[in-house]
Structure 1
Amino acid sequence: MRADFLLAALATGAMAAAVPTNGKPNPPKDVDTSNPFVGKSFFVNPEWTGKLTQTYNAFLKKFDFKNALRVLQVKQLSTFVWISRLSELSRIDDAIAEARRVQKRTGKKQIVGLVLYNLPDRDCSAGESAGEFSSKENGLNRYKEEFVKPYAEKLAKAKDLTFAVVLEPDSLGNLVTNLGIPLCAGAADIYREGVAHAISSLQFDHVNLYIDAAHGGWLGWNDNLPLAAKEFATVLKIASSDGKPKKIRGFATNVSNYNPFNAKVRENYTEWSTSWDESHYATSLAPHLEAEGLPAHFIVDQGRVHLPGARKEWGEWCNVAPAGFGPAPTTNVNNTVVDALVWIKPGGESDGECGYAGAPKAGAWFDEYVQLLVQNADPSVYKWF
């Protein structure tokens, strides 16, 4: 996934659908505003942790016992489960079964993180993560009937669990800044209708929806912040067009990116932005969301964080190095609008054949890079040393 940061945000005056004029969306008064992550155990995905066995063995072969033991600690941490193709819908069943097993064994309520990611004409600004549906081949209807419908049905049957679902990374961000790209301009209405349909289909009390809000280097500029909030409001209005207000919990930021939550060093390329790390981005975006009647709650992806000096500009997004696993998932954050730091992007799955030397295609396991993430991980990841 990629954002074309060089395209001017003000060019978005050509948005394919204007913000409706029938007032701002108001969340239902009976919506529970409590943080859904508090008091829950974050779901640990065995599919991802199983892949880390390769990393563990790689360190052992080097007689690097310190980092081998660190891998064992990483394997105890939570990551989100990505559902990005029809063939991956079964991952929901696997996650539900595992979460129930752990919940029964430990007696602790599980919150399962999922990503819903399969819009027609997906990843319109880059193509590294292009999806399986095309708008020219009945893609929107297939997305609704073959992907979102069974997705929702599976979650509806698991009321004994709590879910946090991130909706369509990068999609609405592209509508704020990248309508100068023909594929993005052509996909605008499809993106809006598709995300709105997903929102409408997942209106369950045990499901907490977080619309993807890109990241501070993309939408965090002063000119972009109000445009982003209006775009999100437009989609929620479409979802509520049947006269029944639809709820979301909030927004997800930094998905699959490398921005720190609290930057230890302010990079030179952030000089003119108030959103110079993801904590500042959440704080900057919050009042614009509230002005549109939207809930200002955030989860922030810290699955991978670049080391200071690793990038010369925010536009470097692919297998950035050096980088490390970011802060361990937690609700202990010093920001009142942030629900939790989470690992949405599973570290080790390549961004594409770009960035760090030898990178495989998007989604493929890149063990050399995982070893780098282990060696450079945030200290909070390791309980022992």
Structure 2
Amino acid sequence: MQPSNSAGSPFRRFTAPAALMLAAALTTACGPSEPPAPAEAEALGSRTDALTELVSNGTFNGGTVSPWWSGPNTQSRVENARLRVDVGGGTANPWDALIGQDDIPLVNGRAYTLSFTASASVSTTVRVTVQLESAPYTAPLDRQITLDGTSRRFTFPFTSTLATQAGQVTFQMGGRATGFSAFIDDISLTTEDGGGGGGPLSMTNGFYIDPNSNPANWVRANSGDSRAARIQSSVANNLAARWFAAWSGDITTAVSSFVSAADAADKLPVLVAYNIPGRDCGSHSGGGAGSPEAYRTWISSFAAAIGNRPAVVIIEPDAVAQLDCLANDAERQTRISLIRYATEQFRDRAPNTWAYLDAGNALWINADTMAQRLENMGVRNVRGFALNVSNFYTTAQSASYAGSVNSSLSSRYGYTKPFVVDTSRNGNGSNGEWCNPAGRKIGTTNQVGVGGAEMTLWIKVPGDSDGQCGVAPNTPAGTFVPDVALRMIDGL
């Protein structure tokens, strides 16, 4: 399943359990799907109040400390799924021994709530702040608490007096003659951001359309071509998803730049992580990270580069469905552990991201088998699952399959999950072929709450070749072909 080797487009924060009920159109980026829709989607509709989480890795369930940092006279580690902070003695001021997290956005006049659970090995006083991360360290929240051996929940509502992207949360534990250990867990900093349920949908004003998608780049380079205007209006103006892999270069820079552009435009970015070792079973879109260790570093950096900003991420198209193509059980177990690790990274490092684990398509894997794989690979850690990425099945077929998967998840494991559908090339449905088949058509554009899906998204790029096959027999996967794009527009 070959993506576009191009960049993506901006989209901001959308928080939406309730907002999803308001099916407002949203334009997306790269991907296979259905008939064309308006280029610039409307806002998601009237917003309802939603809690937006601003702290990353507040639960420490993944066993890592980052992005929390330790200052002088403190050492931190995760112990029993909570943060243990060993504090040195002989300090004069509270800030002489502290931990914190930076890059917290604050809006002047907005209400926030900081909450956490904490205890300590001795009775001691701790200063807790939400403040500027540099001088003059202005602190809209500055409280002193007493900790002892009993674990307690602390909750502090406050109104910000700052407008900054450079806020920080600190726990200042210095000023004691002797050392001690503090234990902190379930740290949360939330704000009502006018959305519907704490996710990215209500935090933004529509989907970010990738200005550097393959079709957009082709149009810029061929403005005099008679095909350019139609490709611009029907394809380039609707593409949101950007695919990230080895071709993206430094993944931190690539992801951060894309998400920053979306954030600046107040739009919601859609990203695809596509770098699993042994990708596509060595077929047209083969490749991926060179080792499990390299992949863990790559995907962790991917999630951290998003941070607290709103985003939608599709995790590793085909990787779950293609488990069977791996050579032996050891390789399959490695794949399972890597995908689960990816879900944990987005859970812990990108709290305002809705991540969806790819679950193949409607006629690929038995629904019970897919449900078992999703459970084993960590779908509980993320928002839900994605269907039909780079394929052609109708939204109705995908929704029916999603219902079967959720029925199995419910009966076996006691939960269900939302799903999204790639509609970039499913306007005419599938003819049973997957590699550049003739007669396919673009589908409904990026929208919320269509056909039972949480979102319909253009994930694959209409016009990008699937490989050297079908109506593009000599074109490598990921290469944009304007005549194929026109076929997708016209359904030929």
Could you state the TM-score of these two structures normalised by the residue count of structure 2? Answer: 0.55
Partners of 2:198 and 2:419 in 1: how far apart? 12
Partners of 2:276 and 2:483 in 1: how far apart? 31
The aligned residue for residue 455 of structure 2 is 340
Match runs of 1:346-365 below 5 Å: 346-365=461-480
Partners of 2:373 and 2:482 in 1: how far apart? 38
Per-residue deviation, 1:286: 1.8
Aligned residues with identical type, % of pairs: 23
Partners of 2:247 and 2:292 in 1: how far apart? 14
Q: Does structure 1 residue 42 correspond to structure 2 residue 213? A: no
Q: Does structure 1 residue 369 correspond to structure 2 residue 484? A: yes
Q: 1:330 aligns with which of 434, 438, 447?
A: 447
> What SS does the corresponding residue of 2:378 show, helix, strand or coil?
helix
The aligned residue for residue 299 of structure 2 is 148
Partners of 1:229 and 1:341 in 2: how far apart? 21
The aligned residue for residue 259 of structure 1 is 393
> What SS does the corresponding residue of 2:272 show, helix, strand or coil?
strand
Q: Does structure 1 residue 281 correspond to structure 2 residue 401? A: yes
> What SS does the corresponding residue of 1:171 show, helix, strand or coil?
coil
The aligned residue for residue 193 of structure 1 is 337
Partners of 1:86 and 1:346 in 2: how far apart? 16
Q: Does structure 1 residue 168 correspond to structure 2 residue 316? A: yes
The aligned residue for residue 275 of structure 2 is 118
Instruction: Give the AA of the match of 1:151.
Output: F
> What SS does the corresponding residue of 1:46 show, helix, strand or coil?
coil
Distance 1:174 1:184, change over 3 A: farther
Deviations 1:222-256 (A, max 9, x none): xx11111111111229xxxxxxxx63110000011
Partners of 2:237 and 2:326 in 1: how far apart? 43
Distance 1:206 1:318, change over 3 A: same
Distance 1:356 1:86, change over 3 A: closer
The aligned residue for residue 435 of structure 2 is 318
Instruction: Give the AA of the match of 1:122.
Output: R
Q: 1:226 aligns with which of 355, 365, 368?
A: 368
Partners of 1:369 and 1:231 in 2: how far apart? 34
Per-residue deviation, 1:58: 7.2
More strand by share: 2
Q: Does structure 1 residue 82 correspond to structure 2 residue 243? A: yes
Per-residue deviation, 1:42: 0.9
Match runs of 1:5-24 below 5 Å: none
Contact 2:216 2:232 in 1 (8 A): no
Q: Return the index of the structure with the highest Cα Rg.
A: 2
Q: 1:297 aligns with which of 396, 407, 418?
A: 418
Deviations 1:19-62 (A, max 9, x none): xxxxxxxxx9x9x96774367411111111523516974762xx
Distance 1:55 1:352, change over 3 A: farther
Partners of 1:163 and 1:152 in 2: how far apart? 10
| More contact order relative to length (CA 8 Å, sep ≥ 6) | 2
Per-residue deviation, 1:93: 2.9
Could you state the TM-score of these two structures normalised by the residue count of structure 1? Answer: 0.69
Deviations 1:106-135 (A, max 9, x none): xxxx221111111111112x521111434x
Instruction: Count the aligned residue pairs.
Output: 295
Contact 1:83 1:116 in 2 (8 A): yes
Deviations 1:193-245 (A, max 9, x none): 111111111123201110101010112xxxx11111111111229xxxxxxxx
TM-align CA RMSD: 3.0
Partners of 1:250 and 1:128 in 2: how far apart? 27
More helix by share: 1
Return structure 1 stretches of 4+ with deviation > 3 angstroms.
Answer: 32-40, 54-59, 181-186
Instruction: Give the AA of the match of 2:271.
Output: L
